Amino acid sequence: EMRLCLAAYPGVREVGWHHATLTQFVSPVVAGRMLGLNEEEIVAAVGISGSCHFTLGGVVAGSLTNMKNTADPMATEAGVRAAMLAETGFSGPVKVFEGKEGLFEVINNVKWDSNILTDKLGKNFLITECEYKAFPTEALTHQPITAVLELMKEHNIKPEDVESVLIETTSRGADILSDPSKYTPKTKETADHSLPYCIAVAIAKGNVLPSDFEPEALKDPLVLELIKKIKVVANPEIDSLFPRVKRAICTIITKDGKNYKKQEDFAKGSKERPLTDEELISKFRSNASKNISDARMDKIIKATFDLENLANIKDYVKLLVSDK
């Protein structure tokens, strides 16, 4: 999937398609390998799945619903189903990428470089270049959150000191992350795609955690008051850098009239600013604590850091079952 993301410029998400559109082509390959399919069967599986699961970006635009978190799993499900069908001899389009009315021809408002899909395939594993989200929020919120947290810490700014906040971001970020619905989020799905809400939480609590998207947290009076002070605008200069650099500029004005400004090009968790092992463990614990006990989490962490010496992956998977 990373190769498909890189093969399209500026990217399918930037022209209105959800990334599940790409997942539908990848999940049947993974499922097919797990089922022991041959090359012809995996090609059929990709054609089957790729014929039925293009996903509109509207699933993460405006006021969001449960489908925000379900679109990609459903594309994965489609890939598994496709592999199972291919295993029975069911056929699918062979040239689903390069053929007539295939992916490259239909999504034609991006520039495709098909060589990226196979260049050093099996030698260069792009998973090693994956970045980790430091916060449980939409990707374009991360640079602004990082900048705000650093400004608050560097200048010892208290939430009650904040008069106003200006966030400069991409046109796309300003559009999808700060429309009117994002100033009054009623659901987790809308809140974690709301730049004003995420920034208000960062100011109020000094971090942004999964617990900040629980139903009661969405009613926090301090956060709701801070949202009113946050303005998000598009910056054309930032657009010119995107998507290679996802710059954000944050300006905080305090009630005593002081002005604090910070530019952030690389969010915490990016390959330029990777999370430490301790930070990754902390993120895992905050995500898993509702369903997994502390003792079980300790075992999972130990097993994860020793994964290359694990004789049977089934033993590892068993650890991931909820024990609460």
Neighbours of 299 (CB within 10 A): 13
Nearest to 80 by CA among 127, 32, 140: 32
| Model pLDDT, residue 64 | 85
Match 């208000």 to its residue by tokens.
Answer: 200
- Would you state the torsion angle of the CA atoms of residues 308, 309, 315, 321, taken in this order, to the nearest 10 degrees? -50
Sign of CA dihedral 158, 159, 160, 164: positive
* Rounded Cα distance, 179 and 201, in Å: 18
Q: Rounded mean pLDDT of 106-125?
A: 94
Q: Rounded mean pLDDT of 259-269?
A: 93
Q: Rounded mean pLDDT of 28-38?
A: 96
Written as one letter, the residue type at 5 is: C
* Average of per-residue pLDDT values in the chain: 94
In three-state secondary structure terms, 251 is strand
* Rounded Cα distance, 12 and 56, in Å: 10
Query: What's the pLDDT band for 127 if we cut at 50, 70, 90?
Result: confident
| Domains detected in the chain | 2-129 (1.10.4100.10), 139-264 (3.30.1330.120), 277-319 (no CATH)
| Model pLDDT, residue 172 | 86
| Model pLDDT, residue 293 | 96
pLDDT surpasses 90 at 174: yes
What share of the chain has pLDDT > 70, as a percent? 100
CA 200 to chain centre: 20
Nearest to 188 by CA among 84, 68, 12: 68
What share of the chain has pLDDT > 90, as a percent? 83
What tokens appear for 49 in the block? 């799945």
pLDDT digits (tens, 9 = 90+) for 267-314: 888 888 899 999 999 999 989 999 999 999 999 999 999 999 988 888
C-beta separation of 151 from 250 below 8 A? yes
| Model pLDDT, residue 132 | 87
Query: What's the pLDDT band for 244 if we cut at 50, 70, 90?
Result: confident
Written as one letter, the residue type at 125 is: F
- Would you state the torsion angle of the CA atoms of residues 241, 169, 246, 1, taken in this order, to the nearest 10 degrees? -110
pLDDT surpasses 80 at 190: yes
| Model pLDDT, residue 75 | 96
| Model pLDDT, residue 128 | 84
| Model pLDDT, residue 243 | 77
pLDDT surpasses 90 at 131: no
Task: Quote the pTM value.
Answer: 0.79
- The DSSP string of 11-79 is -TGGGTB-THHHHHHHHHHHHHHHHT--HHHHHHHHHHHTTT---BGGGGSSS--GGGGTHHHHHHHHH
pLDDT surpasses 90 at 164: yes
* Rounded Cα distance, 113 and 131, in Å: 22
Match 């993460």 to its residue by tokens.
Answer: 60
C-beta separation of 271 from 131 below 8 A? yes
